[in-house]
Structure 1
Amino acid sequence: MTKGINDLQPARLEQALAARGLTKGQLATLVGVGAPTVTKWCKGDQAPEAETFDRLASVLNVQSEWLARPLLPPVSAPLYRSNASALKAARAKLEARTAWTQEVASLLSEYVDYPKVNLPKRTFQDPEQISDTDIEAAAEECRALWQLGRGPIQNLALAAESAGIIVVREETEISAIEGLSSWSEVLGRPIVLLSADKANAFRSRFDLAHEIGHLILHKHIPRADERDRYNQMEKQAHRFAGALLLPAEAFSCEVRVPPNLDNLLILKQRWGASVAAMMMRVHTLGLLSDEEKLALFKRRSARWGAKAEPGDDKWEPEVPRLLRRTVELLINEGILTPERIPRHLGFSPRDVENLCNLRENYFDAPAEVVDLATLRTIKPERQAVRRADVGSGAVVSFLKFKK
């Protein structure tokens, strides 16, 4: 390797390129070097000089020290809530953002205990093993474990986070991919990344329910590359989402038979599911024939268009809280100062705000907090944490912050 900052981790550089949606050529132009130089950095054949290293970190908007950290083990290959034609670069970007979420959650978990993972356990090895009855049973068990009852779910994002799922919702600028889910071996829990680009609460709830279906049903099944297998797994996650949001017995009792658009519009606001999703669910439950479903979809399209529905703006999208409240808890307890958190995590304040669902410019003036995560109890002889309001030589035991 050519002399320079030898601590640069090539895999970090590749990950940052993917997360920023940059090519090696674009990065070379921004940093002021030749494209072959960036290629050598990525291969580990050459290292940047100190000044160039700092400029590289600045262009990528990460801490210089972050580029020198070894990568964490990767999350499982994500399952996408997407169009199969999604671009390779778009997938790489979202996979990098998911890896960053894992890293943020992992570093914060040094100080807090997240809710325990509480999901139905399934061991399917192939989608062919999964029957419709299996899907309905998994959704019913999920509701039972989360103590959701049989009625509408008031806040699915909160329920998912309370069950130990790390949820991120951010604008991705990738319309073809509405969400993805992975399991993190590092965290011992799943991660769901949802697109906030469309700002539709009903679609976002369904996307989250869909990803929960993937996490439960397909945990032990490799990501499908063949179109038929991919479509089969998508249909299974779709059915799970419908069963979770619209449980068979309770929902079917409220549906007028034969269903009509006006009745479903009323139920939309009660159940938090789109008319289109309810139409599919009614068909799945045998309350609508194939011909009736097709006719109803045609009436829906003629009346409202292909995508938007009346009442879409009456629900605000559900926002994740777990990582946000973790950050707020650490700041309010004096464990970490606002300006130290982005440096500790290695990311820009803007990235931390996006991944943790913090308001813009949060680190300039943090807000109060209601606990969701709890501070980790650590023996004094093993670890202590400096408080921001004490002198540099004073150390306060973590036990004093136990909730």
Structure 2
Amino acid sequence: MSRKKIFNGKRLKTARMYRGKTIDVLANETKINKKDILAFEEDKYKPVVENVMKLSNTLNFPKEYFFQNDDIRVTIENTHIRPESPIPRVEEISYKEKIVMTHKIISFIESYIQFPAINLPDNLSKYDDMETLATKMRRHWGLGDGPIGNMVTLLEVNGISISSMNVEKRGAVSFTQKQSIDRNSRYLVCLGNDRKSATIRNFDLAYELAYIVSVEAGIPSKRFSKEEFACAFLLPKETFFEDLGKAHELEDYVELKKKWIVPISAMILRAYQLEVINYKKYMYLMREMEKQGWLKKEPLDENIKATNPALLKKSVEMLIDNNIMSGTELVDNLANCGLNLYPDDIENLLGLKDKMLSPKNSYKRDNVTKVNFKKKK
């Protein structure tokens, strides 16, 4: 005899926050009394079938999702969202729910594919100055003192997961969470709306790396200048100092931008930090940038294209290309683990092509042997 499925109020709250809706908004859209919705979320009583369908359709979650329990439990240890973020609070909450869901999907995929382990120095200290911390990171990752053209790949190969789910959302900023599943911690970074510019993306990821370094070094985030660290990490003191000898006017920084793949505003700030220019010169250059509209859109931003996150996308492609499971089977297997989502949501979270997980892109399996990539070297 099959066991009757019971509506899970916590799932309703998660779905509502995932979609960035308040109870008032959801009540207005579904025509369900907001007191009833709150009661559903608190499991005080269960919705009738008609209301379940209204909630499912409005929130765009399969109705089965609301009758599942969480097989994969994620603990959020730390969250970093820039204080100047212009997005409403309800959208911030939505981003956090989506990155938690991303981690759950990664955890499932790790049953088949070994992701890079987190690779951070164990000698970061709260007593280190910013230059020392930046140098320790570069030395640990074997970067030398030249430009870093691709922060995306650098972070991914060193065990930091990156999602591109927000790159098309106006006003979205990059953010980072430290999460754990079964006490195994992972940092997950979500890109913002950086206009797909390599220079902006590099700086944003260096800024998020600063948050990670502050956590690992035990430095309170409010006492850690993430902008200063990002400049020191991307523009090493000795080598960038030499290049600054050629930079006198604003146009000279445009040429440096081609080499260092860093925003002009960050290079000017770094020049001031290194005392190559004084405060008066710094303010002059920033005023010139404002006059030319460069504070909103710098030269070369559209010419130097950013690298997209690849690790999550490639992991799914490996599952499909090696006939381990089709796109449809991936969706079904996630549902069996309590992650009953529509394919387009999974595609968005993992940066997959549209319709990649739809039935027409599925593969037939004939006597397929499961491959465990963890055992492959």
Q: TM-score, normalised by structure 1?
A: 0.81
Instruction: Report whether the alignment pairs 1:237 with 2:206.
Output: no
Give the aligned partner of residue 152 of structure 1.
147
Q: Secondary structure of the equivalent of 1:92?
A: helix
Q: Are 2:166 and 2:192, in contact at CA under 8 Å, matched by a contact in 1?
A: yes
Match of 1:352, as an amino acid?
I
Give the aligned partner of residue 62 of structure 1.
61
Residue correspondence of structure 1 range 177-216 to structure 2 within 5 A: 177-186=172-181, 187-196=184-193, 198-216=195-213
Which stretch of the first structure deviates more once superposed, 137-146 or 78-87? 78-87
> Structure 2 vs 1, CA of residues 12 and 122 (structure 1 numbering), >3 Å: closer, same or farther?
farther
Q: Secondary structure of the equivalent of 1:78?
A: strand
Q: Secondary structure of the equivalent of 1:314?
A: coil
C-alpha displacement of 1:280: 0.7
Instruction: Report whether the alignment pairs 1:270 with 2:259.
Output: yes
Q: Secondary structure of the equivalent of 2:177?
A: strand
CA distance in 2, matches of 1:258, 1:69: 59
Q: Which residue of 141, 148, 171 corresponds with 2:166?
A: 171
Structure 1, gaps ≥5 residues long: 368-386
> Structure 2 vs 1, CA of residues 54 and 326 (structure 1 numbering), >3 Å: closer, same or farther?
farther
Give the aligned partner of residue 104 of structure 2.
103
C-alpha displacement of 1:12: 2.3
Which stretch of the first structure deviates more once superposed, 236-245 or 65-74? 65-74
CA distance in 1, matches of 2:178, 2:204: 17
Give the aligned partner of residue 20 of structure 2.
21
Instruction: Report whether the alignment pairs 1:78 with 2:79.
Output: yes
Q: Which residue of 354, 365, 376 corresponds with 1:360?
A: 354
Q: Are 2:214 and 2:220, in contact at CA under 8 Å, matched by a contact in 1?
A: no
C-alpha displacement of 1:254: 1.2
C-alpha displacement of 1:17: 1.1
Instruction: Report whether the alignment pairs 1:143 with 2:116.
Output: no
Residue correspondence of structure 1 range 4-403 to structure 2 within 5 A: 7-50=6-49, 52-67=51-66, 68-70=68-70, 72-83=73-84, 86-121=87-122, 129=126, 133=129, 135-171=130-166, 177-186=172-181, 187-196=184-193, 198-219=195-216, 229=222, 232-233=223-224, 236-256=225-245, 259-343=248-332, 344=334, 345-364=339-358, 388-390=364-366, 396-398=369-371, 403=376
C-alpha displacement of 1:281: 1.0
CA distance in 2, matches of 1:220, 1:196: 29
Q: Deviations over 1:252-300 (max 9, x none)?
A: 1112266321111011111110110100111111211111111111122
CA distance in 2, matches of 1:336, 1:183: 29
> Structure 2 vs 1, CA of residues 400 and 169 (structure 1 numbering), >3 Å: closer, same or farther?
closer
Q: Are 1:180 and 1:211, in contact at CA under 8 Å, matched by a contact in 2?
A: yes
Q: Are 1:81 and 1:207, in contact at CA under 8 Å, matched by a contact in 2?
A: no
C-alpha displacement of 1:33: 2.8
> Structure 2 vs 1, CA of residues 36 and 245 (structure 1 numbering), >3 Å: closer, same or farther?
same
Match of 2:55, as an amino acid?
L
Give the aligned partner of residue 379 of structure 1.
none
CA distance in 1, matches of 2:253, 2:217: 36
Structure 2, gaps ≥5 residues long: none
CA distance in 1, matches of 2:48, 2:37: 12
CA distance in 1, matches of 2:113, 2:46: 37
C-alpha displacement of 1:14: 1.6
Q: Secondary structure of the equivalent of 2:35?
A: helix
C-alpha displacement of 1:20: 0.7
C-alpha displacement of 1:305: 4.3
C-alpha displacement of 1:130: 5.3
Match of 2:115, as an amino acid?
Y
Match of 1:251, as an amino acid?
F
> Structure 2 vs 1, CA of residues 221 and 150 (structure 1 numbering), >3 Å: closer, same or farther?
closer
The count of aligned residue pairs is: 363
Q: TM-score, normalised by structure 2?
A: 0.86
CA distance in 2, matches of 1:204, 1:348: 29
CA distance in 2, matches of 1:303, 1:59: 45
C-alpha displacement of 1:181: 0.8
Match of 1:277, as an amino acid?
A
Q: Secondary structure of the equivalent of 2:351?
A: coil
Q: Secondary structure of the equivalent of 1:359?
A: coil
CA distance in 1, matches of 2:232, 2:65: 43
Match of 1:189, as an amino acid?
R
Q: Are 1:81 and 1:177, in contact at CA under 8 Å, matched by a contact in 2?
A: no
Q: Deviations over 1:39-63 (max 9, x none)?
A: 1111111122345435433332233
Q: Secondary structure of the equivalent of 2:258?
A: helix
CA distance in 1, matches of 2:21, 2:132: 44
Which stretch of the first structure deviates more once superposed, 136-145 or 214-223? 214-223
CA distance in 2, matches of 1:66, 1:285: 54
Identity over aligned pairs, percent: 23
Q: Are 1:205 and 1:273, in contact at CA under 8 Å, matched by a contact in 2?
A: yes
Q: Secondary structure of the equivalent of 1:252?
A: helix
> Structure 2 vs 1, CA of residues 222 and 61 (structure 1 numbering), >3 Å: closer, same or farther?
farther
